[in-house]
Amino acid sequence: MNAVVVDMEEYYRRGVFRHFSQDCKCSVSMTARIDVTELLAFSKRTGSRFYINFLYVLSRALNSRRDYRLAWDWQNEQLLCYDQINPTQYIFHDDTETFTIAYTIYDPDYALFYANAEKDIAAAKATREYGLDSAGHPNWFDASCIPWLSYDSLNVELPDGYLYFSPIVNWGRFREENGHMMMPVTVRLNHAVADGYLVAKVFGLIDHYIGVLTAEKQPE
């Protein structure tokens, strides 16, 4: 884990940051349906898991831009930018109806990420402990699937006074709409480091990297 201190004099959002970190502390979230038709076809063609494939695409999208890799060092009152952020997964247990957290290190290499995610999911399924270790995982973002519902809206509330900048992303069950498989995705970011444009940008990046992954892995 590596991080650099953001020079607030050079930070392009410094005025917005000051306002939403001091005067009006709040977050912003959006829910939209994304087209996962090609990613589903890719998963079927390669015999791979759609869930892990989407987790990879999401991680690649969020790591592609520094705005999504920011954190607040409250001890020193500094804005940090990590070299990468990693997904915190929530693995559901049917027998206890509880979750265990699985930490998977992001790797831009698809095969390595996929293998690591499979291993982490298997380890999480073998225990019923919650396993939260936020202190030991500062550069991690929440990635949580809600497969029981194709929802229209979802809100995640955090205390207004807490400058939590890591993305929180949820997604639900996909469903067919006009011949396409559409999946609800919710992205939450702190308003100090993101506005509507940057939240909406996540959806465009996810769509872009779905196209990149499915094109990279086309059969010869």
Tell me the per-residue pLDDT of 85-108, one tens digit each, with 9 for 90 and over: 999 999 999 999 999 999 999 999
* Backbone phi and psi for residue 72, each to the nearest 5 degrees, phi listed first: -105, 120
Distance CA(199)–CA(107), nearest Å, equals: 23
Closest CA to 66 of 13, 21, 137: 13
Give the CATH number for residue 207: 3.30.559.10
pTM (2 decimals)?
0.96
Closest CA to 170 of 110, 106, 90: 90
Partners of residue 90 on adjacent β-strands? 101
Print the domain residue range for 194.
3-216
Q: Confidence band (pLDDT; 50, 70, 90) for 42? A: very high
Confidence check: pLDDT of 160 > 80: no
Q: Confidence band (pLDDT; 50, 70, 90) for 124? A: very high
The pLDDT, as a whole number, for residue 154 is 95
The pLDDT, as a whole number, for residue 156 is 87
In the chain, the number of structural domains is 1
